[in-house]
Amino acid sequence: MVFQLARDSVSALVYHFKEGNLNWPMIIYLVLVHLAGYIGLTTVLSCKWQTLLEAFILWPITGLGITAGVHRLWAHRSYNATLPYRILLMVFNSIANQGSIYHWSRDHRVHHKYSETDADPHNATRGFFFAHMGWLIVKKHPKVVEGGKQLDFSDLAADPVVRFQRDWDPWFAQFMCFVMPALVASRFWGEAFWNAFWVAGALRYMLVLHFTWMVNSAAHLYGDHPYDPTMWPAENPLVSVVAIGEGWHNWHHRYPYDYAASEFGISQQFNPTKAFIDFFAAIGMVTNRKRATGAWAKLKESRARDEANGKSMKDFKGRGSGADYGTTSTNYAVSTKTTPVEVVKEKGAQQPGWEESSHPKYN
């Protein structure tokens, strides 16, 4: 399998080189990222234990900047948040250094709208390597560019937190990702600046990048499909561990507006991101958390009726076909008016029976 993957990856790179499709600035950047990560790996034994602990802690912190922040809050608008909370997650996201909130959310909305088609930025039907990181090193398919023009990103442009980060991109993120951890380590426990730079900065950054990319590759290719067997995204527990709860991907693509991105809570499915959001909801900084468990219950009832009438999932098109079964949403963030959306009850939150795609009000 590994040999086949390597051979296919080389063949694809040769093809794109001949076609002039390679994105050379990104290729150079990713080569430097992995060289820096390798230097960090060779420096691990020279670091103080506090620096190793810092690198480890920055894994979930930066992960939350992606999962709770740019993914569930900004890309899907699955809950609302106060200004201080959004600033906190913007800082976490900047340490993660995976592109600005605006650009990450834009690409992710296009991914959900056109999943596993030529308009999907990291179309998993093109293979593991392409879905994992290959999509970054080749020019975008024309349909990806065209698909992005069809979607609305005005809510992102309206958020001053998103605008601040975008205005200072990439310098603020580069500083927070690499320099800030080194400054903290050298100031507070006397670590050599470059030791912390390579380990808590570069090595940690490279690993978290791959953890995030596994959501696009492994969680789209390997795992179970209990909620919608017609789609590629799967339930992948391993990805959920490394990506802080983002591996329950069959549920997420079935119900992208669900803030938990999983059917169950942390007691049944590893999902620290849900616990993080719930904590800030408890102290009043998060409101209007949307859930899809009611929609799933109705869909199960519908399937049970179909099976009683002699119809099964085999009667529908297979995975990757774009087929649908039951109620679903083509909206990037929330459901259409025909899909019920539950909002977790909390003090001071609105409790709509049906959710519409109106933009949140930003402070």
pLDDT at residue number 19: 79
Model pLDDT, residue 307: 81
Dist CA 52 CA 74 (whole Å) = 31
Higher pLDDT, 74 or 6: 74
Q: Calculate mean pLDDT across residues 340-363.
A: 45
161-165 long-range contacts, Cβ below 8 Å, gap at least 24? 161/83, 161/86, 161/87, 161/90, 161/101, 161/362, 162/74, 162/90, 162/100, 162/101, 162/102, 164/90, 165/90, 165/93, 165/94, 165/100, 165/101, 165/102
Q: What does the alpha-carbon distance between residue 315 and residue 278 come to, in Å, rounded to a whole number?
A: 39
Give the pair of three-digit tokens for residue 278.
């719930």
pLDDT higher than threshold 50 for residue 109? yes
The DSSP bridge partners found for residue 290 are 343
- Give the rounded percent of residues in the chain with a pLDDT score beyond 90: 76
Per-residue model confidence as pLDDT tens digits over 26-37: 999 999 999 999
Relative orientation angle of helices 180-188 and 49-64, to the nearest 10 degrees: 140
* Mean per-residue pLDDT, 302-311: 82
Greater model confidence, 269 or 333:
269
**Over 70: is that where the pLDDT of 339 sits?**
no
Distance between CA atoms of 62 and 96, rounded to whole angstroms?
Answer: 5
| CA pair distance 20, 14, nearest whole angstrom | 10
Inform me whether the pLDDT recorded for 334 exceeds 60: no
Q: Who wins on pLDDT, 306 or 195?
A: 195
Q: Model confidence at 304, in pLDDT bands (50, 70, 90)?
A: confident
pLDDT value for 358: 38
> pLDDT tens-digit profile of 7-16?
777 777 787 8
What's phi and psi for 79, nearest 5 deg? -160, 165
Domain boundaries, the chain: 15-121+128-343
- Report the C-alpha gap between 277 and 95 in whole angstroms: 19
According to the model, what pLDDT value does residue 311 have?
Answer: 72
Question: Within 10 A of 91 (CB to CB), how many other CB atoms are there?
Answer: 18
Could you tell me how far CA 353 lies from the centroid of its own chain?
27
What integer is the mean pLDDT of 125-135? 96
From residue 266, how far is each of 61, 84, 260, 277, 283 by CA, in Å?
A: 18, 25, 10, 12, 19
By the 8 A CB rule, do 214 and 243 touch?
Answer: yes
With cut-offs at 50, 70 and 90, classify the pLDDT of residue 77: very high
CA distances from 12 to 21, 215, 286 (A): 11, 21, 44
Write down the pLDDT at residue 57: 98
Q: How far apart are CA 230 and CA 225, in angstroms?
A: 8
Q: Which residues contact 276 (CB under 8 A, 6 or more apart)?
A: 64, 68
- 235-280, pLDDT tens digit by residue? 999 999 999 999 999 999 999 999 999 999 888 999 999 999 999 9
Predicted structure pTM score: 0.87
Tell me the average pLDDT of the chain: 88
The mean per-residue pLDDT over the stretch 172-192 comes to 98
pLDDT at position 347 over 70? no
pLDDT digits 0-9 by tens, 142-164: 999 999 999 999 999 999 999 99
Percent of the chain whose predicted confidence (pLDDT) is above 70: 85
